[in-house]
Amino acid sequence: MTSGANRSGQRLELHGARALVTGGAGFIGSTLVDSLLRLGCTVVALDNFDPFYPGKEGNVRHNLSNPKFVLLRGSILDAEKLGAAMKGADVVFHLAGQAGVRYCIENPLKAEEVNAKGTLDVLQAVRRAKTVKKMVYASSSSIFGNPVKPMLSESHPQNPTSPYGVSKLAGEKYCLAYHQTYGTPVTCLRYFSVYGPRGRPDQVVYSFAKRVMNGQPPLIYGDGKASRDFTFVSDIVEGIVRVVDRVPQPNPTWNSNQPDPATSSAPYRLYNIGNSHPVELLRYIEVLEECLGRKATKTLLPLQPGDVPDTYADVDELIADVGYRPDTPVEVGVRRFADWFVDFYGYR
C-alpha cells in the first residue's frame, strides 16, 4: 500500500519518500525497513546496536548494497547523530527503545532515559528538521498494566505496573503534548505481543525455542493458561505502513471534560495493533514444539513482577480507519519463526 484516500481526504505518498526508522536494525524495525524499500522509499535506519540485543547486524546485512538504504550507527540520545539521520526525512518511524519488561525492572533509569527522554529527543529533531509530514511512535500494550477486562480498547484505563510500561506511556504523552504545541501529525501504535523471525533473545517464543532445542524444559511463569494476543511481525508492519496513509486530524468534538484518549484537539491519533485472537501460553508452546519437532517437559514458576493476566487488543478503530486485517494465525506464524530460528542458529 503506497497511498490512498482516508476519511480526511489527506494522504501521504510513500513511494519515493525518504523515511527514517529509528531502531532500524531491530526486530520490528528491520522488517519495516524491508517493507518500505519494497514500496520504493529511500530508508535511513538509525540504530545503536545495543548489546542487549546481539546479532542485529544480520537483520540488515542483505540491504547494505541497496542504494536506497542508509545505515547509521548511533543513539537517539546523540543529538548530532539523530539530526544527521533526520535530514530530509518525510516520515519518521520511531521504533528505537529499551525493550524488555524484566530488563527494565532491573534497569529503570535506562528505561526512562531511552524510552521517555529518547522519544522527546526524536520529537525535538522532528521539529528542527521541518520536512517531516508524519511520525509514527511505537508504544506497547504494557501501558495498560493489570486490565479491568481482557479485551483492551484504546479508552481502557492506563495503569502500567512496570517501569517499561510507564516509560512507554510517557512517550505517548510526550507525543501528544508536543503535537498539541507544535502541530506535526503523529500516530501512536500500541503493540501486542509481537513475535516472528529476527526476534529478540529475551522474547518468550525465542527463549522457549532455545530451551526446547537444547533439551531443557521451557520456563513458564504462572499456570500457562494466561492468554496473549500473539501478533506476527508482518501483520504489525502492515499496520504501521497503513497508518502513514491516514494523516491524523484534530478531533473537533474533543472535550477535556470527557477526553477521548485516542484522539486530541491536535493532529494526533492512537491505535491498538494486535492479532485480536488470544492464545493460551500452553497452546502457543504446543504449536512451537510441533514446529520444532520436539517435545519438552514444562517447568511452572511463580508469576514475576510486571506480569499481567489475559490481554488482547480491540482493533476495531484500526480496522475502521485503515482497513487493518491481521491474517497470520499462530500456527502459521510460529512455523515461520521456527524455520528461521532453526536455520539461523544452525540446529539442522
Catalytic residue among 53, 103, 137, 164: 164
Cα–Cα distance for residue pair 309/162, rounded to 1 Å: 14
pLDDT tens sequence across 231-253 = 999 999 999 999 998 767 777 78
For residue 294, give the C-alpha cell.
520436539
Three-state secondary-structure class, residue 231: strand
Please enumerate in sequence order all residues whose Cβ is within 8 A of that of 304, keeping only pairs 6 or more positions apart, or say none: 102, 221
Please enumerate in sequence order all residues whose Cβ is within 8 A of that of 177, keeping only pairs 6 or more positions apart, or say none: none
Cα–Cα distance for residue pair 219/301, rounded to 1 Å: 7
User: Any idea where the domains of the chain sit in the sequence?
Assistant: 18-192+233-274+313-327
Q: Minimal CA–CA distance to 251: which of 4, 8, 6?
A: 8
In this prediction the pTM is: 0.91
Q: Minimal CA–CA distance to 266: which of 132, 190, 173?
A: 173
**pLDDT for the residue numbered 254:** 73
Q: Minimal CA–CA distance to 184: which of 89, 107, 254?
A: 89
Half-sphere exposure of 318 (CA within 13 A, CB side): 29
Cα–Cα distance for residue pair 110/107, rounded to 1 Å: 6
**pLDDT for the residue numbered 6:** 35
**pLDDT for the residue numbered 118:** 98
**pLDDT for the residue numbered 308:** 66
**pLDDT for the residue numbered 1:** 35
pLDDT tens sequence across 174-197 = 999 888 888 878 999 999 999 999
The length of the chain in residues reads 348
Judge whether 324 counts as a catalytic residue.
no
- Taking a C-beta distance cutoff of 8 angstroms, is the pair 183, 249 a contact? no
**pLDDT for the residue numbered 122:** 98
Homologous superfamily (CATH) of 18-192+233-274+313-327 is NAD(P)-binding Rossmann-like Domain (3.40.50.720)
Low-confidence ranges of the chain (pLDDT < 70): 1-12, 247, 266, 303, 305-309, 348
